[in-house]
A and B are shown apart, each in its own frame.
Chain A
Amino acid sequence: MGAPRSRSPRLEVPSYMQCSTRRMGIMTDVHRRFLQLLMTHGVLEEQAVKRLQKHCYKVHDRNAAVEKLEDFINNINSVLESLYIEVKKGVTEDDGRPVYALVNLATTSISKMASDFAENELDLFRKALELIIDSESGFASSTNILNLVDQLKGKKMRKKEAEQVLQKFVQNKWLIEKEGEFTLHSRAILEMEQYIRETYPDSVKMCNICHSLLIQGQSCETCGIRMHLPCVAKYFQSNSEPRCPHCNDYWPHEIPEIFNPEKEREAGISTSNKKSLRSRQH
């Protein structure tokens, strides 16, 4: 792993610590500011994270070279590891954008949200979560969730209140709403994946390609395997006859486009460029 940075003038590591087999990261105000701002946002897309990193360098350490994001985050995580917290990278299920969030690695139950929400609110979330996991599309309709309002633990909640609570979940980035239906926000997936896999081992769906939790995705109509939309896009990239990786039947769905950060940047410059790129892709 290499010697710990004990020779850096800014940190004195006594000799007995050098016997650690784990590399110790070094935390500076650059990293602390980064973490504070990342926490404030809850979850951030990769481009915003890079800008955030540059901003933190600018504030605290103008002359230092901005470390590669991956190394920067690994450094932070090596320090936070002992707190069972990490900056985790995920991918949005609908359009494959890389996102980052500060997550708690402990798979304690949903009750870790307990201090933020009332008992009946937590139970509403739990019910919504179950409906989402059981659904075929990964979405649970507002009506179906609200119909369970009578079964909630704790203080009786009316449907009107429940609507507000669901909005609170959306605002706090636990749920996403699309046309009256709810699914899990990428932040919730990042934070709760392990909890969900352990609590609902029978109903949970997994992606055949990346082997992580799947809420939204496409499925093979013959053998039933599922894939995330971005995983489908990557797997079938420039393949004119997409076939199921498991049973080899024709893949019945439209292949989505891969999220390409380069394309996003060019789109900002001129819309005509974007059109020509798209026609080139397929």
Chain B
Amino acid sequence: MPRGHKSKLRAREKRRQARGETQCLRGAQATAAKEEGSPSSSSLVLETTPQSLPAAGSDERATKQDEESPGTSQASSTTDRSRKTPLDQKAILLVQFLLRKYNMKETITKEDMLKYVIKKHKDHFHEILRRASELMVLAFGIDVKEVDTTRHCYVLISKLQRTRDERMSGEIMPKTGLLMTVLCVIFMKGNCAAEEDIWEVLNVMGIYAGRKHFMYGEPRKLITKDLVQEKYLEYRQVPNSDPPRYEFLWGPRARAETSKMKVLEFLAKIHDTTPNAFPSWYEEALRDEEERARARFAALARTNAIASARIRVSSSYFHP
């Protein structure tokens, strides 16, 4: 016998409720399975049916007007959005916010989260944060941990262990890590380093010519061609060398984008010290800083002189 209308409605309601609860359960199950050591897989469920729910719609319209909604009318179908509760929407916005902070490697304060994301839903801060944290773990394997309970500061920590290769790749701009190292060696060798010196240092870091690195690809091509093309490095033959030997210098772009002081700071950080621990290089870096400041002021003065000359010309035009 086909099911009656009421029975179908009841079943649908039950499914909807169960789905709401299992949103969180899915995550818990998945992490539990992971803890057991098996390679985990989990699905990210926020809503599954394409059916729209008019009840949620009015709520959603209110939040849409004075606050941002996480999606656009073009990017997602409206049926999806009407299924999400306002708290879910805030959780999604918070995830997007947290992801940016992960890239900047900054601590996040509750205050910032309230100001930029949660806004008028601040009474539900903990619930929104809880949902967002779950999504961060499920989708990205990133933990949101409170490090300061008085000032409510949080940090983002990867649940996945960094491999040796990844740590070598440096922090926010990995190519920069390798590049900074090369620039450092060049600086330390008196602003010009033989290719052998560079490789000596890179080999210690586990980077070898001809051996493809998961991040840098083939390192020799990277430093002798790619970075040279991008004007970060200069690669030239040592004059009158036979058999030909090669040396590296800073390229114009490296000179523009970084400085001897910054490179020294990079070196100091690696050795857990400060730049003045290397007195002769520190002196040279200081001189470089002075030179740059002078050049900047000179450029500004030139711009101002041109600007004021123009004003003088135009004023003399009106008052001959």
Contact = CB atoms under 8 A, between A and B. Distances in A.
Nearest to B15: A16
Contacts of B15: 16
A113 B116 CA distance: 10
A32 B140 contact: yes
Given A51-B217, A54-B214, A106-B75, A82 B47 contact: yes
Nearest to A104: B96
13 contacts: A8-B41, A11-B41, A28-B39, A36-B140, A42-B103, A42-B173, A55-B165, A58-B214, A83-B46, A83-B96, A84-B70, A106-B72, A114-B116
Interface string A59-96: 11100000000000000000111111100000000000
B11 to A, nearest CB: 9
A28 B159 CA distance: 13
B314 to A, nearest CB: 16
Contacts of A54: 214
A48 interface: yes
B102 interface: yes
B206 interface: no
B39 A106 contact: no
B43 A107 contact: no
A47 B221 CA distance: 14
B193 interface: no
A112 interface: yes
Given A19-B49, A39-B99, A55-B165, A27 B139 contact: yes
A26 B68 contact: no
B214 A52 contact: yes
Interface string B131-147: 00001001111100000
Contacts of B48: 16-17, 19-20, 22, 24
- Categorize the interface residue count of chain A: 35 or more
Contacts of B49: 19-21
Nearest to A26: B41
Nearest to A16: B15
Nearest to A170: B257
Given A14-B22, A28-B41, 5 more contacts: A16-B18, A28-B39, A29-B40, A79-B139, A106-B96
B164 to A, nearest CB: 11
A39 B43 contact: no
A143 interface: yes
B72 A107 contact: yes
Nearest to B221: A268
Contacts of A24: 43, 45, 48
Contact of B138 (A8, A27, A58): A27
Contacts of A280: none
Interface string B190-222: 000000000000000000000010110110010
Contacts of A26: 41-43
A160 interface: yes
A40 interface: yes
